[in-house]
Structure 1
Amino acid sequence: MSRVDLAPAAGEVARLLNGVRDDQLSDPTPCQDTPVAALLDHLMGLSLAFTWAARKTGPPAGVTSPPPGLARAETLDPDWRAQLPRRLTELVEAWQAPAAWEGMTEAGGVQLPAEVMGVVALDELVLHGWDLARATGQTFRCDPASTSAILAFTRESAQPERAASREGLFGPVVDVPADSSELDRALGYAGRDPAWTRTAAG
């Protein structure tokens, strides 16, 4: 598995933050039962967790990493507009170190080969970047290299023999037309409906 560059996907998430209005924080997202504020809280947490995974240090003394799935709107840091871009920058920098891709590492209580964990980090950035864009009425841009990497990762995860390992990471596969874009096919494999809209979600 080749190394991936997290910079374009992280930069896109950072760009989208500028378009999030305060009155949208309670709006729904493509993630079921996850309003915008909870999605932002998840991005805050995952950016730290995957930075620690790259450095193979674990959380600093006195800091606890919340288990996956516990992001909540109520715990979103009021300073997220300043904090999250900084965390995304640190995440990118951590994975630019060659040592980040070597050996085993851990994030959210899951141990994986570091080269796989880096792709998982990219997957989180792309999917949740798309979630945030859709939820806030913005255009989402994904660079070709990230799109190809995420398509390969989500397609592999959608294989029947991977059913146990994808549980908790992705929802049920959503069928999309065969001639759909690479990004839409990746979204479908990841359990996202590329046609999701805020209006349809109510």
Structure 2
Amino acid sequence: MTASTTDAPRPPEPAHEPALGPALGPALDLAPAARRVAELLPAIGPEQLGDPTPCPDFDVATLLDHLVTLTDAFTHSARKTPLGAPETPSAAHLDPDWRTALPDMLAELVAAWAEPAAWAGETEAGGLRLPASEVGAIAVNELVVHGWDLARATRQRFSVDAASARACLGFAQQFEVVVPGLFGERVEVGADAPVFHRVLGLEGRDPRW
């Protein structure tokens, strides 16, 4: 998706959401999560694109389209050049070159959020204006949780580094308080479960999927 540069009437200002409590920071390293997603792609066969995933209503192709879209969107968010609300993910929209395009896009995402300015002030994500630190945390969460979705759907192993897992847990706990039901029905995993299993449970996923 590209931003229009025509002389069309100025769109309305994006909705401004209140901060979700203390800033979700400090700056996070997106490289481990992005690298893990990229490592999954070579092993995905065309026969798997229609397979179900832990993400409700998404088959593998639709999930890949979502990953392409969100990677592009969060790169623009880091650069403070947001794209606005995304289109609904669809297998029909999946870039036929996703296997080579997505790793390059993930590298751009990591580079964009490696800039200190990316974490300063506010930016937009999905048409909402939020503190940049929260948007960065959302980006990490999207990569990690949807990376797990993709790995489970394509029968691959998936590991999450400790820093990313903790960031996702903080994100999920804050959003659950501010926007109850955002992730659907919680899956109970137990207070002593591994950190990432607690993330999955809070975001409506069964770690045993």
TM-score (normalised: structure 2) = 0.85
The residue type equivalent to 1:72 in the other structure is S
Quote the offset at 1:177 in angstroms.
Answer: 2.4
For 1:108 and 1:157, how far apart are their aligned partners in 2? 16
Native 8 Å contact 1:45 1:65 kept in 2: no
What corresponds to 2:72 in structure 1?
48
User: Is residue 33 from structure 1 mapped to residue 46 from structure 2 by the alignment?
Assistant: no
For 1:14 and 1:149, how far apart are their aligned partners in 2? 20
Native 8 Å contact 1:13 1:125 kept in 2: yes
User: Is residue 118 from structure 1 mapped to residue 136 from structure 2 by the alignment?
Assistant: yes
The residue type equivalent to 1:5 in the other structure is D
Aligned residues: 185
For 1:156 and 1:191, how far apart are their aligned partners in 2? 15
Quote the offset at 1:57 in angstroms.
Answer: 1.4
Quote the offset at 1:192 in angstroms.
Answer: 1.1
Aligned-residue sequence identity (percent) comes to 53
From 165, 171, 188, give the equivalent of 2:184: 171
What corresponds to 1:130 in structure 2?
148
TM-score (normalised: structure 1) = 0.88
Unaligned runs of 5+ in 1: 197-202
From 81, 89, 100, give the equivalent of 2:99: 81
Unaligned runs of 5+ in 2: 1-24
Native 8 Å contact 1:171 1:192 kept in 2: no
Quote the offset at 1:54 in angstroms.
Answer: 0.2
SS for the counterpart of 1:137 is coil
What corresponds to 1:162 in structure 2?
179
What corresponds to 1:192 in structure 2?
205
For 1:150 and 1:93, how far apart are their aligned partners in 2? 20
CA gap 1:78/1:65 in 2 versus in 1, 3 angstroms: farther
For 1:133 and 1:195, how far apart are their aligned partners in 2? 13
The residue type equivalent to 2:107 in the other structure is T
For 1:82 and 1:195, how far apart are their aligned partners in 2? 30
For 1:53 and 1:28, how far apart are their aligned partners in 2? 30
What are the superposed Cα offsets for residues 1-41 of structure 1, whole Å, 9 maximum, x if unpaired?
31110000000000011121110000000011100000000
SS for the counterpart of 2:148 is helix
From 36, 40, 48, give the equivalent of 1:24: 48
Native 8 Å contact 1:158 1:173 kept in 2: no
RMSD of equivalent CA atoms:
1.4
Quote the offset at 1:179 in angstroms.
Answer: 2.4
Higher helix share: 1
User: Is residue 66 from structure 1 mapped to residue 86 from structure 2 by the alignment?
Assistant: yes
For 1:162 and 1:132, how far apart are their aligned partners in 2? 25
Native 8 Å contact 2:71 2:105 kept in 1: yes
Native 8 Å contact 1:95 1:118 kept in 2: yes
SS for the counterpart of 1:106 is strand
Native 8 Å contact 2:82 2:123 kept in 1: no
Native 8 Å contact 1:29 1:35 kept in 2: yes
What are the superposed Cα offsets for residues 162-201 of structure 1, whole Å, 9 maximum, x if unpaired?
32xx63xx222211123211110011111111111xxxxx
SS for the counterpart of 1:116 is helix
For 2:129 and 2:51, how far apart are their aligned partners in 1? 33
Quote the offset at 1:65 in angstroms.
Answer: 6.0
